[in-house]
Amino acid sequence: MTALPQVEQAAPEIEMRTGLPDVEVRRRLALAMRREETGARVLAFYLVEMDGRRLYQTSGHGSTAHYAEVGLGIDRRRTCDLLHVGRTLLELVEVDGAFCAGRLGWAKVLVLARVATPKHEAEWLERALALDCRRLAALARRSKPGGPPRKPSEQKGLPEIRFPLGVSVGVLGRAKVEQAQAKLAAELGREVSLAELFEALAGDFLASEADGSVPGRKRVDASIYRVIVREDDDGGPGGTLLAETEEGPLPIESAGAVRCDAEELRQQGESQLELDVKTPPPLRRKVLVRDEARCRSCASRHDLMVHHMEFRGEGGRTSAENLITLCTRCHALVHEGLLVLEGATAGEVRFLDAAKRPLELGEPVAAITPPAPQGAAEREFVMLDAVPEVVDGAWWERHAHLFHERKDGTGLRFEAGEPREPVQGRGTTVAEPADGDPFAGLVGQDETVRRFKIAATGARLLGHAFAHTLLTGPAGTGKTRLARSIAACLGRRPIEVLGPMTTDKPTWLRLLAALEEGGVLFLDEAHALPRPLLEMLLEALSEARLTLTVSDGVRARTITLALPRFTLLAATTEEGLLPVALRSRFGLRERLIHYEVKALSTLLLQAAAAKGAEVAPEAAARLAETARGTPREALRLLDRALDDCAAQGTPRLDAEAVEGALARLGYDEHGLDATERRYVQVLRRSRRPVPLSRLSRTLGLSPSTLVESVEPHLFERGLVCTTLAGRMATPAA
C-alpha cells in the first residue's frame, strides 16, 4: 500500500498553562473550539473532494472511509457523517459562509445539515443565528426534513422522549419473546415491533395485582419521577423549601438554601412595596410546560424552580411573562449577581455574566476561506440538485459516468462528481458517400431492395426520417448486410448493438444519447434485449425522450433525456418473441426467406471473383445445393472448398473438386451431413413414428438442437414429416 503523504509544514506549538485568569481561560477555550470546528469543516470538504474524484485509489485504498480509517484514524461512522455534511454544505452556501465567517458554530451546522435545503436555507439560517444549539435541535426534530422551520404557533407540546434499552436473552427467552410478539401481532392484525411488545408487556405487568397464588406487585403510578422545588406557601420564618413529589411536598433543609429576595425583605420588615402573590401551583405547572421542564439557562432537568425575572421585592408581578424556569444552581447564581437576566419577558430573555456579556462566548474567531462556488471556472462539481430537468445527448455524454444502475433495478443512482471533457465526433456521424448503388452485391432480394429504395426516396422528398424497419428471417439470410446497406443508402454510419450483449441501463443510455438527428441504430437479435431496456426503447421511439428516476441515497427526482429523431433497424430470428407494442412501431417489416439455388450460385461466383479464384458454374451450383438456402452457409462452404482445392494442388474449382471437398467435410451426394444421415436412418429403421424426446436420447443431442439445426433442411427436402405420435421418414428418404 502506498505510504501516506507527510505534512510538509510542522503544526504550530500549542501552549497549555495553569493559573490563567478566567477571561484568558474562556478566550483559549473559544479559540480551541474554533480550531476544532474549522478542522472538521476542512476534513468534510477534502473528504468530499477525495470521494468525488476517487483520489483514495492513488494510495491503494478501497474507499474514502478506508483511507480515513487507516490514514487519518477516523472511524467509518464519523467519515460518513463528514461526507454527508460536506456534500450538504456544497448546496447550503449561505450556511457555509456564516460558519466560515465565525457567525455559526459547527454544532448548529450539523443540525442544519439534517433538515435544511437550499429552498428554505435563509429561514433556517435566521433561526439558527437566533437560537442556541439545544433549541435549534428541538426545532429541527419538530420540523419536517427538507421543509421550512416550524413556526412557534405550530409547535405543540413537548417532544417525545425515547430511551434505548439493550438486553441479551438466552435461547428460551428469545423463543418466548418471539411467541409473544406473534401473539400480539395476531391480536392487533398487524406487525408489531419489539418496542411495542416491550411497552405492552410492561403495561400489563404494572397493571397486575397479587391474588396470593403467585408473586405480584401493587399497582403504582408509572409517571416519570421529577423533583420540582418551591418555597413553602405558608411563608414560615424558616424560609423552608419544598420538593414536589408523587407522594406530596417534602421539606428540604433550609440551611444554605436559596430564597428569593422577596422573602428576605419580608423577614427584615422592609415590605414597603405591595408584594404580589406567591406563584400558585397551576401557574407553576404552566410555566414548566412552556419551558419544556428544563432550566432556561443550563437546560438541566433536575431541581427546577419557577423564578420571578423582575423580583417580587421590586414589584415584579406573578404572571407567566415574568416567570422563568431555573434550576437551584442557576437560581443561586442569579441571586449572587453572577448570572444576569436581560429582557422584558420570559420569551425574549437573554443570560449575561457578571460583566454583562452574553453567555454565548463572543471572543474573536478566525475566519476560513469557504470553498469555491459550483459555478467557478476553475472547478465544476455537479450535485443531484444541479442536474437540469431536461438534458440532451451532449450533456449526458459528459456526465454519464456519474449515473449507475441500482441493484434493485428501480432506477439510477447518482454520484456527485466532475463532468468529463466532451469527445469530438461523437455519435452517428454522416458516412462518406458510397460509390454506386449501396445495395450492389445483394442477390436474391430484388423485391425487398426495390421497396427499400422507394421508401428512402419518398422519405427524402417529404423531408422526414426513414421509417423504423424490422428484418426477420432465418439466421444467415443477410439481415445484417441489408441493414448496413439501408444505412449507407441514407448516408449514415449506424450504431450497431447486439441485443444479448446489452444488459445494463447506463450502457443503453450511452448508446441512445450518442445518436444524432437522423441517425441510424441497428439492433441485432432484438428479441434478446432485456425487458427494462426494451421498455426504454419503446418510450424513445414514441416520445423521442426518456424519463429517468435518479436518486443519491437520500433524495430522488426524475429527469428527462431528450433524444433526436432517429431510425431503428431491428433484426431478429424470433419475431414471435417481440412484444406487440414494439412490432407495431415498425413502419417497414420485411421477412427474408431461404435463397434459391440460382441466386446462391450467382452470389458464390461473385464472391469467388472478388477473391481472385476461378470457380466453374457447375461447382458453384453444387455448393449452392448444399448451402441450406443461406448465403452465410454458402460462403462458408466456398471457403472450405477453396482451401481443399489449394491443398490438392488443383488450380480451378470444378465439379469434381467440389465433390471431393464436400465428401471430406462429411456431406454425401444428397447434401446431407453426418448428423442428418443418422437422423434419417433412425426414422427408417423404426416402423412407427418416433417422438422427439426419443430421437434426442438416441442421437445425443438436445431437442432444441434438433428442431433448430437438424430438422429444417430435412423438412425442406421432404425427407421427414411429423404426425401426432412423432417424426416419420417419407418415401423420398
| Helix or strand run (H / E) with residue 352 | strand 350-352
Asked whether residue 223 carries a pLDDT value surpassing 70, the answer given is no
Do β-strands 727-729 and 545-551 pair in parallel, antiparallel, or remain unpaired? unpaired
Q: Which residues contact 189 (CB under 8 A, 6 or more apart)?
A: none
Per the CB < 8 A criterion, the answer to whether 653 and 641 are in contact is: yes
Separation CA 212–CA 215 (nearest Å): 7
Separation CA 668–CA 663 (nearest Å): 6
Per-residue pLDDT tens digits for 427-441: 555 555 455 677 777
**Shortest CA distance to 513 belongs to which of 417, 686, 397?**
397
| Cα Rg, the chain, nearest whole Å | 43
Query: Greater confidence, 37 or 231?
Result: 37
| Helix or strand run (H / E) with residue 332 | helix 328-336
Asked whether residue 156 carries a pLDDT value surpassing 60, the answer given is no
Listed ranges 157-166, 343-352, 373-382; the one with the highest mean pLDDT: 343-352
**551 to each of 19, 64, 165, 367, how far by Cα in Å?**
56, 20, 34, 35
Angle at 395 (CA atoms; ends 391, 400), nearest 5 degrees: 100
**What does residue 685 show for φ and ψ, rounded to 5 degrees?**
-75, -20
Task: Mark residue 372 as left, alpha or beta (left: phi above 0; alpha: psi -120 to 50; beta: remaining).
Answer: beta
Separation CA 663–CA 276 (nearest Å): 124
Cell numbers given for 496: 450497431
Per-residue pLDDT tens digits for 616-642: 888 888 888 888 888 888 888 888 888
Residue in this structure with the C-alpha cell 438436445, named with its chain if needed: 702
Do β-strands 545-551 and 556-562 pair in parallel, antiparallel, or remain unpaired? antiparallel
Separation CA 181–CA 186 (nearest Å): 9
Angle at 661 (CA atoms; ends 659, 667), nearest 5 degrees: 70
Separation CA 78–CA 82 (nearest Å): 6
Separation CA 504–CA 404 (nearest Å): 9
**What residue type is assigned to position 599 of the chain?**
A
Cell numbers given for 623: 455448393
| Side-chain-side CA neighbours of residue 69 (13 Å) | 10
Asked whether residue 7 carries a pLDDT value surpassing 50, the answer given is no
CB crowding 694-718: b at 16 or more within 10 Å, else e: ebbeeeebeeeebeeebbebbeebe
Asked whether residue 410 carries a pLDDT value surpassing 50, the answer given is yes
What single string gives the DSSP state of each residue in 546-572? EEEEEE-SS-EEEEEEE----EEEEEE
Query: Greater confidence, 422 or 448?
Result: 448
Helix %, strand %, coil % of the chain (to 5)? 45, 10, 40
**Shortest CA distance to 423 belongs to which of 388, 448, 393, 456?**
393
| pLDDT at position 2 | 37
Per-residue pLDDT tens digits for 350-372: 888 777 777 654 444 556 666 66
Q: How far is CA 15 from the centre of its chain?
A: 47
| pLDDT at position 236 | 46
**What does residue 326 show for φ and ψ, rounded to 5 degrees?**
-135, 155
- Indicate the SS3 state at residue 466: coil
pLDDT band of residue 237 (cuts 50, 70, 90) is very low
Mean pLDDT, residues 432-457: 76
Which CB contacts under 8 angstroms, 24+ apart, belong to 636-639? 637/662, 637/665, 638/604, 638/607, 638/608
Query: Greater confidence, 355 or 603?
Result: 603
Cell numbers given for 119: 429552498
Listed ranges 231-235, 253-257, 369-373, 403-407; the one with the highest mean pLDDT: 403-407
Separation CA 60–CA 646 (nearest Å): 57
Separation CA 360–CA 352 (nearest Å): 9
Per-residue pLDDT tens digits for 198-220: 888 887 777 666 555 555 544 44
Query: Greater confidence, 323 or 58?
Result: 323
**437 to each of 491, 606, 612, how far by Cα in Å?**
12, 16, 22
Task: Mark residue 367 as left, alpha or beta (left: phi above 0; alpha: psi -120 to 50; beta: remaining).
Answer: beta
Separation CA 511–CA 521 (nearest Å): 9
Mean pLDDT, residues 405-423: 81
Q: Which residues are catalytic?
A: 479-480, 524, 573, 632
Residue in this structure with the C-alpha cell 436412418, named with its chain if needed: 681
Asked whether residue 119 carries a pLDDT value surpassing 70, the answer given is yes
Cell numbers given for 367: 475566519
Asked whether residue 162 carries a pLDDT value surpassing 70, the answer given is no
- Bridge partners, 572 (sequence order): 472
Angle at 507 (CA atoms; ends 501, 510), nearest 5 degrees: 135
Do β-strands 241-245 and 248-252 pair in parallel, antiparallel, or remain unpaired? antiparallel
Separation CA 540–CA 520 (nearest Å): 13
Query: Greater confidence, 135 or 362?
Result: 135
**What residue type is assigned to position 423 of the chain?**
V
- pTM for the model stands at 0.48
Cell numbers given for 341: 437576566
* Proportion of the chain above pLDDT 70, given as a percent: 81
**What does residue 244 show for φ and ψ, rounded to 5 degrees?**
-80, 120
Per-residue pLDDT tens digits for 387-406: 899 999 888 888 888 888 88
Separation CA 706–CA 234 (nearest Å): 107
